[in-house]
Amino acid sequence: MNLDINRIRRDFPILEQQVYGKTLVYLDNGATTQKPNVVIDKICEMYRKYNANIHRGVHYLSEKSTQFYEESRQTVAHFINASSNKEIIFTKGTTDSVNLIAHAFGDRFLKKGDQVLVTALEHHANLVPWQMICQKTGAELKIIPINEKGEILQDKYRELLSDRCKILSLTHVSNSLGTIVPIKEMIAQAHAYHIPVLVDAAQSVQHIPVDVQELDCEFLAFSGHKIYGPTGIGVLYGKTEWLEKLPPYQGGGDMIDDVEYQKSTYAEIPLKFEAGTSNYVDAIALAEAIKYISNIGLKNIAAHEQEILRYATEQMLKIEGLKIIGTAAQKASAISFTLKNVHNLDAGMILDKMGIAVRTGHHCAQPLMKKLGITGTIRVSFAIYNTKDEVDVLISALQKLKQMFN
């Protein structure tokens, strides 16, 4: 199916504006995506017509917001094909979801001598929480290495699997290099050792169809703001049996069953993991974002973005002195690169003045950058609304940049 990208672009009001007198070319979608009108309108509608705290009130507004919130949980469950709504926990985002699992799992299941496995590609969000819990429990953090293209070394991964390894936490798509990790095969191999797996899907759910039952992962995390939804809302998926055996991460209202001054019993899942007033407005708006992209179709989105990725890669390779960092065979829509004689920060600032928003620096993956022997890259990352015309604007800006510095 050929998508009408110009029609899609009209759904995103921010894209119509000019910056520094230039038409905005937004290529920082890996950091956050722009929001369609349906999401913005839903947030306004919630505050204008339905706002009331969920799960507590018996009045009309509270019943309405509770109903919309629980329907949103259903929308998310359907989107990733969870087998039950109970398996969907609303969090603040991927970082919050990973911290929840690292701490709840670590407190219950990790001890000295155990190992936690992550890959060399991880965002700090899927690394630092595990470092913290390893320091607390005495478990050891093991890193699965990558090759120079940014692909996981599968033989090294298999060597690291053992009965000492208690959990594997890995990214589906690398935010800094764009590598698509073959998680389905890796999850199956971990399961041969009864190792549960957490997938960081922050950079995948908006680009690739994700089916948690097909992947068979125990946990999966993503952020609303990277999938055209609001900031401050995210998702943690967990298999029922696992969520039931993990202790709560935070205590407070909504997560309890019965409370006495000295002790409490806890609510059933998912509420056991949703202490305090949830960000129900943004959860409801996130469901709108999911419906929006589901209507377009994830397969159609993937096809369009792959085409943009292919075209941009081809054009960029023609620029002398431009080096693409991350050349995995399977990539999602991000290209990291360096330009000879140009510091990434200077490049970012000059491109900005030309109306082009890109990301520069270490992309919250400092150990990876150090391993690659660089301080950072320039990263362009594409979304459903990006076009080949925008790639052309980028390419001519990069040519100008090169001339300026040579």
Q: Which of residues 218-237 bind ligand PMP (CB under 6 A)?
A: 223
SS (H, E, C) 78-127: HHHCCCCHHHEEEECCHHHHHHHHHHHHHHHHCCCCCEEEEECCCCHHHC
User: Could you tell me the smallest distance in angstroms from the CB atom of residue 169 to ligand PMP?
Assistant: 11
Q: One of 134, 165, 217, 364 is an active-site residue; which one?
A: 364
Please choose, out of 89-97, 271-279, 305-313, 393-401, the segment that lies near ligand PMP by the rule CB under 6 A: 89-97
Say whether residue 203 binds ligand PMP (CB under 6 A).
yes
User: Could you tell me the smallest distance in angstroms from the CB atom of residue 225 to ligand PMP?
Assistant: 6
- Judged by CB under 6 A, which of 114, 200, 274, 305 binds ligand PMP? 200
User: Phi and psi (nearest 5°) for 256?
Assistant: -105, 160
165 as an active site residue: the answer is no
Please choose, out of 72-80, 92-100, 289-297, 383-391, the segment that lies near ligand PMP by the rule CB under 6 A: 92-100
Q: Is 337 helix (H, G, I), strand (E, B) or coil?
A: strand
Say whether residue 34 binds ligand PMP (CB under 6 A).
no
| First CA to last CA distance, the chain | 43
Contact 267, 257 (CB under 8 A): yes
DSSP symbol at 345:
H
**Residue 348 CB contacts under 8 Å (≥ 6 apart), including other chains:** 358, 359, 360, 378
The nearer residue to ligand PMP, 190 or 221, going by C-beta atoms, is 221
Distances, alpha carbon 202 to alpha carbons 54, 85, 221, 262, in Å: 27, 20, 7, 39
The nearer residue to ligand PMP, 33 or 126, going by C-beta atoms, is 126
User: Could you tell me the smallest distance in angstroms from the CB atom of residue 12 to ligand PMP?
Assistant: 19
The nearer residue to ligand PMP, 137 or 169, going by C-beta atoms, is 169
Say whether residue 175 binds ligand PMP (CB under 6 A).
yes
User: Could you tell me the smallest distance in angstroms from the CB atom of residue 92 to ligand PMP?
Assistant: 7
Output the CA angle 235-95-78, nearest 5 degrees.
Answer: 15
Tell me the Ramachandran region of residue 255: left when phi exceeds 0, alpha when psi lies from -120 to 50, beta otherwise: alpha
Residues near ligand PMP (CB under 6 A) are 93-95, 123, 125-126, 171, 175, 200, 202-203, 223, 364
Catalytic positions: 364
